[in-house]
Amino acid sequence: MTLAGTWRLRHQRYQLQGEVCEKCGSLIFPPRDVCPECEAPAKTPYTFSGRGEVYSYTTVYHPPAGFEEDAPYTVALVRLEEGPMVTAQLTDVDAEQVEIGMPVEMVTRRISAEGEEGIITYGYKFRPVLRRTRG
Amino acid sequence: MRDVAIIGIGQTKVGEHWDLGLRHLALEALQAAMKDAGVERADALYVGNMLSGELTGQEHLGALIADFAGLRGIEAVKIEAACGSGAAAVRMGYIAVAGGLADVVLVVGVEKMTDYLGPRVTAALAMAADADYEASQGVSFVALNALLMRRYMHEFGYRKEDFAPFAVNAHANGMNNPNAMFHLKVTPESYARAPMIADPVNLLDSSPVCDGAAAVVLAPIEWARQLDHPVVRIAASAIGTDALAIHDRRDPLTLEGAALSAHRAYQQAGLGPKEIDLFELHDAFSIMAALSLEAAGFAEKGKGVRLALDGEITLHGRIPIATMGGLKARGHPVGATGVYQIVEVVQQLRGEAGDNQVPDARIGMAQNIGGSGATVITHILERVG
Ligand SMILES: [Zn+2]
C-alpha cells in the first residue's frame, strides 16, 4: 500500500467511517458513494460503533507477501451491529476460542509492515468484547 | 446474430513447466487448436490471462502472442477478469463472430505461475479480491473460501467430511486425463487426513498453482459443417457480476453473479438445468463447487453438498462435474482455466473423452468464476446433427 493510498483510507481505517444514504437511510461500509439499496448518491459520512459479531472466521497459515511476520493469524467476517459486514483480523484472542456469533469490538492495531524502513500500516482489527465486572 | 461454432481445440498438459515460458505455452495450445480446425490464418486473437504482469513481468500479451505465433498484424488483445479471464476471452471471441465482425477468431487462455513460490503467488492471486478492504487485511484466497465454507457448514449443518465427494470425484476423473496435473487416487479416508491449509479448507479442497494453456478456434457454423468433427455450436454465452468483496454481498452464501450468469445462459439457449448433460464448474475450492451447483439450479440453497453425497456429480450421476479432473485434478492455471473447461466440454460433445465419456452427451455447460464470485461467465455448448 502506498503512502497516498493509506492516507486516502484514513477515515475508514482509524474510525470505521462509512456513509448514510439520505434517501433510504441505509448505513454503508465500506463507503461507495452510491447507495447499494436505492442507487441514490450517498456521500454523507457516518461513523460506525465498531461493535459486532463474528459471522465466520479462519486461520491463515500461508500468508500473502507482507504478512509473513504475523502468521498464523485469524481473519473474520464481522457483522457490525448497524448491519454492514467487514473483513478484518481478530486480535487478543486464541484461534481455538473464536466461534461464530462471538461479540467483538474494533481496536486499532498494526496491520502490515514493509520491512525495516517501509511504511507501517495501521487499521482496524477486532477483539472479543471485554466483560466488565462490577467492583 | 450469426450462429457460432467451436471448430478447433488445443491444450498443453497442466503442471510445472520449468522449460516453457508464457509465449511457448500459448503457442503450443494455439497450434494444436489451429491444426484441429484446419486453419492457418485468423482475423483476431483474444488472450485470456490474469497474472502475466505480476508473475512474469510481461503485459501486452495480445500483440506478443500474435507475433510469436506467426500471426503478426492481426487484431489481438489480452482480456482480464481474474480467474475468469479465459472464459471472458471466449465470450469476446463469440461476440466478434456472432456480430459478423470476424470470421475466424482464435482464443487462448494462458498462465505461468510456477516461476515464483509461496507468498508472492498468494499475494498475486489476492489481487482478484478488493485491495482496499480484503487483501489489505492479510486475507488470502484460500482464507476467503474458508470463511464461506465454515459459514456454510454452520448454517446447513454439514460436517467437514461431507465435502469429500468433490475431491474424490475430481481426482477419479483426473486419473484418465493425460493433460491433468495430478493422477492421484483420493478416498474419503485420504481426504480426512489431508493437511489443513485454512481451517476448514484442506489441501484436497483446493486447486494447485500451475502452468498451462488452452485454445479454441471460433467460426460461423457453416465453416464447422465442412470439417470432419461433429459440429459443436455455442448455444449461450453470458457474464454476470457481483460485488468484488464477499462482505459487500447481500448473502455471502448465494453466488448472485453465478445465478445471473446461468439464468442469462439458460434464456439464450432456451434450456433449463434439466437439459444439461454435464457441467464443467469452477471447483477452485470444494465450497465453490457446492455454491455453483446451487446458483445454476442443480440444487436448492444448502443442498449442493447433499447432491455430491448422493453420488449425483459423478460421470454416471444426474449432473457430472469436473469430468476431466476439474480445477482440483486437471489443475487451475488461473487465466487459462476457463478455456480448458470449454475444450473439455467440446471433447465430451464430440465423444472424444475416452474413459471419462459421459454417455450420449449432447449439451454441456461450462462456468468460469473470477475472484470469489464477482465475475461469472457461463457457456452452453450443443452438439448439432
Ligand atoms: Zn439508499
Please tell me the distance between residue B133's alpha carbon and the centre of ligand 1 in angstroms.
21
Distance from CA of A25 to the nearest CA of B (A): 17
A133 in any annotated domain: no
pTM over 0.95: yes
Using 70 as the pLDDT threshold, list the residues of chain A that sit under it. Answer: 132-135
Q: Does B300 touch chain A (CB under 8 A)?
A: no
A134 in any annotated domain: no
- Strand-pairing partners, residue B89, are none
Find the domain containing A106 and state its range: 3-128
Chain B residues whose CB is inside 8 A of the A88 CB are: 137
Chain A residues whose CB is inside 8 A of the B138 CB are: 60, 63-64, 66-67, 70, 73, 75, 89, 111-112
ipTM reported for the complex, 2 dp: 0.96
Asked if residue B360 and residue B344 are part of one domain, the reply reads yes
What's the distance, CA B367 to chain centroid? Answer: 6
Please tell me the distance between residue A22's alpha carbon and the centre of ligand 1 in angstroms.
7
Q: Do the chains contact at A73 and B120, CB–CB below 8 Å?
A: no
> H or E stretch including A127?
strand A120-128
Output the domain CATH number for residue B347.
3.40.47.10
Distance CA A73, CA B377 (A): 34
A135 in any annotated domain: no
B35 in any annotated domain: yes
Q: Do the chains contact at B119 and A68, CB–CB below 8 Å?
A: yes
- Strand-pairing partners, residue B365, are B279, B380
Size of interface A-B (CB pairs under 8 A): 109
Asked if residue B169 and residue B299 are part of one domain, the reply reads yes
Asked if residue B184 and residue B317 are part of one domain, the reply reads yes
Distance CA B80, CA B91 (A): 12
In our burial notation (b when 16+ CB lie closer than 10 A, e otherwise), range A6-45 reads beebeebbeebbbbbbeeeebebbbbeeebeeeeeebeee
Per-residue pLDDT at B277: 98
Asked if residue B195 and residue B243 are part of one domain, the reply reads yes
Distance CA B166, CA B172 (A): 10
Q: Do the chains contact at B247 and A87, CB–CB below 8 Å?
A: yes
Q: Which of B137, B199, B252 sits opposite A89 (nearest CB)?
A: B137
Chain A residues whose CB is inside 8 A of the B248 CB are: 30, 32, 36, 85
B247 in any annotated domain: yes
Write down how long chain A is.
135
Distance CA B340, CA B329 (A): 12
Q: Which of A36, A61, A64 sits opposite B198 (nearest CB)?
A: A61
Q: Which of A64, A76, A88 sits opposite B126 (nearest CB)?
A: A64
Distance from CA of B254 to the nearest CA of A (A): 15
Distance from CA of A86 to the nearest CA of B (A): 6
How does pLDDT run along chain B (385 residues), one tens digit per residue? 999 999 999 999 999 999 999 999 999 999 999 999 999 999 999 999 999 999 999 999 999 999 999 999 999 999 999 999 999 999 999 999 999 999 999 999 999 999 997 889 999 999 999 999 999 999 999 999 999 999 999 999 999 999 999 999 999 999 999 999 999 999 999 999 999 999 999 999 999 999 999 999 999 999 999 999 999 999 999 999 999 999 999 999 999 999 999 999 999 999 999 999 999 999 999 999 999 999 999 999 999 999 999 999 999 999 999 999 999 999 999 999 999 999 999 999 999 999 999 999 999 999 999 999 999 999 999 999 7
Asked if residue B242 and residue B217 are part of one domain, the reply reads no
**E strand residue ranges, B181-273:** 196-198, 201-202, 212-220, 231-241
Q: Which residue has the cell 487448436?
A: B33
Distance from CA of B147 to the nearest CA of A (A): 5
Per-residue pLDDT at A135: 46
How far the first Cα of chain B sits from its last, in Å, is 21
Asked if residue B81 and residue B28 are part of one domain, the reply reads yes
Determine the residue among B54, B116, B137, B160 to mutate to test chain A binding: the one whose Cβ has the most chain A Cβ atoms within 10 Å. Answer: B137
Chain B residues whose CB is inside 8 A of the A1 CB are: 136
Q: Do the chains contact at A88 and B137, CB–CB below 8 Å?
A: yes
Report H helices in B118-234: 119-125, 141-156, 164-174, 188-193, 221-225
Distance from CA of B86 to the nearest CA of A (A): 24
Q: Do the chains contact at B139 and A76, CB–CB below 8 Å?
A: no
Asked if residue B215 and residue B200 are part of one domain, the reply reads no
Give the dihedral sign, CA B215/B218/B223/B225.
positive
> H or E stretch including A119?
none
Asked if residue B242 and residue B97 are part of one domain, the reply reads no
Chain B residues whose CB is inside 8 A of the A55 CB are: 151, 252
**Residues of B catalogued as catalytic:** 83, 332
Per-residue pLDDT at B362: 98
Domain total in chain A: 1
Q: Does B314 touch chain A (CB under 8 A)?
A: no
Nearest C-alpha neighbor of B335 from the set B96, B83, B167:
B83
In our burial notation (b when 16+ CB lie closer than 10 A, e otherwise), range B198-237 reads bbbbbebbbbbbbbbbbbbbbbbbebbeebebebbbbbbb
Q: Which of B119, B136, B142 sits opposite A1 (nearest CB)?
A: B136
Asked if residue B327 and residue B243 are part of one domain, the reply reads yes
What's the distance, CA B237 to chain centroid? Answer: 14
Distance CA B22, CA B258 (A): 30
B229 in any annotated domain: no
Cell numbers at B30, concatenated: 494455439
B64 in any annotated domain: yes
Distance from CA of B52 to the nearest CA of A (A): 18
Per-residue pLDDT at A115: 77
Nearest C-alpha neighbor of B261 from the set B376, B93, B341:
B376
Q: Final residue of a domain: which of B194, B224, B254?
A: B224
Find the domain containing B262 and state its range: 127-206+235-384
Asked if residue B373 and residue B264 are part of one domain, the reply reads yes
Domain total in chain B: 2
Q: Does B155 touch chain A (CB under 8 A)?
A: no
Asked if residue B162 and residue B54 are part of one domain, the reply reads no
Q: Does B195 touch chain A (CB under 8 A)?
A: no
Please tell me the distance between residue A84's alpha carbon and the centre of ligand 1 in angstroms.
14
Q: Which of A57, A87, A112 sits opposite B133 (nearest CB)?
A: A87
Asked if residue B72 and residue B215 are part of one domain, the reply reads yes
B230 in any annotated domain: no
Q: Which of A9, A12, A67 sits opposite B138 (nearest CB)?
A: A67
Please tell me the distance between residue B248's alpha carbon and the centre of ligand 1 in angstroms.
15
